[in-house]
Amino acid sequence: MEQDRALFAQKKAEILDIEAQMAALVQCISAIREAQQVIRARLKSYKYPVLSLPHEIVAEIFIHTIPPYPDPPPPRTCPSTVLTQICRQWREIAIGTPQLWKTIYLVAYNLPIPQRRSFDSQQAFRQASLWVKRSGSCPLSVYVEDLRPILPVLLLERMRLEHLRLSILDDPLNKSASQTHFSLHSAPLLRSVIFRSTGGGIIDLPWAQLTFLKVWIERTADFRRCILRQARRLVHCAFYCRDVVRNTEGVGSEISLHHLESLEIRLNAGGGIQMDDVLESLMVPNLQILHVSEATLGPQPIETLKYFISKSHCKLKKMEVVNVDVVHPAAYHHAFPSIASVVIDRMV
């Protein structure tokens, strides 16, 4: 019996000791929680230095995250869009900064077909409308396919349009694209155009005011007749053509481009198709850079180049001939010693 009483007293003492330890732990936890609340309150009142910057400075930092105008943003990681997803304050600043939205990129043809299907016309129209609204009164640089729902937005904003890249491609998902007739005459700021057509689409632009032009087109005759004769203020011109057929009506009147400084012409003359006479019809006295494919130059490339340079009285600083297969590269260097840089790229 005495042994049981002693054991009982021992266990009771152990329980009291445990309870005392628990009370001490509870008190310790309570103190830790109080410290936690103090730290949370301090964090809540803390303002990150970047968030304390004036909105104007933050907006300027944002502008430096995007490619220089008029270059397009990366299509899948557009900084302007990403900045709206960081926090509410940054979203408000980004949306209120028109310079972030003045380059509009809406191109689906370079996406995989499943993604291209999901990039429907309504989605493109909504995105274009949203970016145009956010861009305020800034000049616009637009990279767009000929998705018809987008064109009304573009036409409404034509007074602000400064740079345009338009593609009219033979897209199996959009058969009507190849028959698009795009007309944009009243665009007083438009100076730069990149145009690609592989489906016979028609484009009608204020060519006379352009200073930069790069085109992919089906027929050289269309380019010479419809574009070059009007685009007399061009400074830079690049021309790529797939269907090269000699003009049966002859060269016709000379085309003088007195402001042109760089010219690139690549014609597909494979399969026995004869070269066109684009070079023969041009007069470019201020040309400094010439980039041509050898197929552009006919059966006597060096003689064609000499005639072209002599006729135009231009002083070239750089000449590049690519896909060289007819003449040995050394012959070009020997024939044009006065040109500082002669680059010859042989056909692989």
What does the alpha-carbon distance between residue 264 and residue 246 come to, in Å, rounded to a whole number?
A: 19
Region 281-286: what's the mean pLDDT?
91
Residue 176 pLDDT exceeds 50: no
pTM summary value: 0.75
- How many CB atoms lie under 10 A from the CB of residue 213? 24
pLDDT in tens, 29-74: 999 999 999 888 887 777 677 777 889 999 999 999 999 998 887 7
Pick the residue with more confidence: 338 or 75?
A: 338
pLDDT value of position 186 = 81
pLDDT in tens, 111-149: 555 555 555 667 778 888 899 999 999 999 988 775 566
Say whether 247 sits in a helix, a strand or coil.
Answer: coil
pLDDT value of position 3 = 74
Q: Using alpha carbons, list the distances in angstroms from residue 127 to 122, 123, 257, 326.
A: 9, 6, 39, 50
Lowest mean pLDDT among 6-10, 161-165, 173-177, 278-282: 173-177
Quickly tell me which residue has 């732990």 as its tokens. 25
Question: Contact, 320 vs 294, CB < 8 A?
Answer: no
Question: What burial class does residue 204 get, using C-beta atoms within 10 Å of its C-beta: 0-12 exposed, 13-18 middle, 19+ buried?
Answer: exposed
218: tokens are 């089906």
